[in-house]
Amino acid sequence: MRKGEETRTRILDVAEAAVLQKGFGGTSIEELIAETGITKSGFFYHFRDKNELAKALLNRYIENDERIYDEIFSRARDLVDDPLQSFLLGLKLLSELLSDLPNGHPGCLVATVCYYERLFDREIQETNRNAVLAWRRRFGRMLRDIMEVYPPREPVNIDQLADMVSSVLEGGIVLSKTLKEPNTLAEQVLMLRTFVKMLFLPAAEMPRA
């Protein structure tokens, strides 16, 4: 009962790394069982088929992703009271976390699934959609708190601004991976931070350099 979970986790670990490098179609079950040291029957004992594996993989990825954001932004809230300063600190912490990844960001499963839509069932696509909507709600909540204190310099739609955070993260990952420049992603997050800062911080409180 404990043992089963452990094997399952090991399969998911190996599968996640492989899928992020080669996509779902490029990852064979045979290579997964070779690397985990399990038999084919063993694999199918844990996952009915590849779709089931994808589902488990995506759910685990999203949960972990949410946990990381929870930690970062709740830590930022603990350190400073002001909603704007707290959000800016959160982005700073996020960028530091990303630039500390030894081999750069491995890739986002949400993006992988997005580029594989037709291969999976509706449930997976719905899960993926909800993950992005959760990001929108999360960042939207924080931005609305900021808006109550700081009037934006330009009129902006909060949901669209919240989506901008997700966009820059997803796009930054693609750029970082493609360029093989691990730091690009962290830099993009800091650039977004500059945007948010400029949008909400009154000119008087904004020193040059």
> Is residue 155 close enough to count as binding a second copy by CB under 8 A?
yes
104-13-93-187 Cα dihedral, nearest 10 degrees: 20
Are residues 77 and 69 in contact, defined by beta-carbon separation less than 8 angstroms? no
Which chain residues interact with DNA by CB under 7 A?
1-8, 27-31, 37-42, 44-46, 48-51
With CB under 5 to 8 Å by kind, the binding choice for 41 among DNA, a second copy, none is DNA
What distance in Å separates the CA atoms of residue 47 and residue 11, rounded to the nearest whole number?
Answer: 10
> Is residue 121 close enough to count as binding a second copy by CB under 8 A?
no
With CB under 5 to 8 Å by kind, the binding choice for 174 among a second copy, DNA, none is a second copy
Are residues 128 and 112 in contact, defined by beta-carbon separation less than 8 angstroms? no
Q: What track of x and - describes contact with a second copy for positions 166 through 205 (by CB under 8 A)? A: xxxxxxx-xx-xxxx---x--xx-xxx-xx-xxx---x--
Q: Which value, in Å, is the radius of gyration of the alpha carbons in the chain?
A: 20
> Is residue 156 close enough to count as binding a second copy by CB under 8 A?
yes
Q: State in angstroms the smallest separation of the CB of 61 from DNA.
A: 19
**Which residue in the set 129, 137, 141, 144 belongs to the binding site for a second copy (CB under 8 A)?**
129
What secondary structure does DSSP assign to 33-77, as a single string?
HHHHT--HHHHHHH-SSHHHHHHHHHHHHHHHHHHHHHHHHHHHH
Q: Residues in the site for a second copy, rule: CB under 8 A?
A: 20-27, 107, 110-119, 128-129, 131-133, 153-157, 160-161, 163-164, 166-172, 174-175, 177-180, 184, 187-188, 190-192, 194-195, 197-199, 203, 206, 208-209
